[in-house]
Amino acid sequence: MPKLNKIKFAIILLLLTVTCERDDICAEGTETTPRMVVGFYDVSNQEEFKSVLRLTAYGEGLVLDENGQPSQPTSSSEATLVFNSNTTELSLPLRIGNEGEEITTRFILEKNTNLRLDEDPNTQSNEDIIEIKYKPQFVYVSRACGYKSIFTELEVLRVDDSDNWIIDILIDDTINATVENENSIHVQIFH
């Protein structure tokens, strides 16, 4: 009886490997839906990267307290894209909706997070909100991978407050306001 089970197992395994075709598996290197790549630059020397000190970035309304209310993060979590880290570049995931319909996504970029987290009531971080508007478009990749989204008609602006650390935002001219891949910086933030 055990010999019969081994033969059945071998036949099933053989059938599975023979019936899978190369295009049934999405290759690991295949481009999928891209994130929007943001580079941080020196406002005084706009060709030079400038690190944002102690940056925390997260989608508006995604960090919740124990009561389910929006709050500021106190540690790294799935909701934070970066937490209390120095960085010159950031990749932001954009929501996918109905093809061709405008979507607005907002991200909170908090500079000097460590000043909010310390015990000193006289120090505080500085939060700026960026608002990103775009239209998703679906592009066929392959039978195994299906579709990916690209984002067209990209607009990015800073929500004004009394103490903005972000001075200016520019969309790279070479991308034609479209996010198709993650090969280059799409948006330049000057501070």
pLDDT single digits (tens) 34-93: 999 999 999 999 999 999 999 999 999 999 988 989 999 999 999 999 999 999 999 999
Q: How confident is the model at residue 12 (pLDDT cuts 50, 70, 90)?
A: low
Task: Yes or no: say if 87 and 62 are a contact pair by the CB < 8 Å rule.
Answer: no
**pLDDT of 1:** 53
> DSSP class of residue 62?
-
- What is the C-alpha separation between 178 and 10, in angstroms, rounded? 50
Residue 76 has a pLDDT of 94
Q: What is the pLDDT of residue 29?
A: 83
Supply the pLDDT for residue 25.
83
Confidence of residue 156 (pLDDT cuts 50, 70, 90): very high
CA nearest 35: which of 87, 105, 83?
105
Helices (H), ranges, 64-162: 113-117
> Residue 93: CB partners within 8 Å, gap ≥ 6?
35, 36, 81
Distance CA 32, CA 25 (A): 14
Q: What is the pLDDT of residues 99-154, one digit of tens each?
A: 999 999 999 999 999 999 998 989 999 999 999 999 999 999 988 889 999 999 99
pLDDT at 17: 57
pTM, 2 dp: 0.83
Can you give the pLDDT at residue 51? Answer: 97
Predicted pLDDT at 3: 64
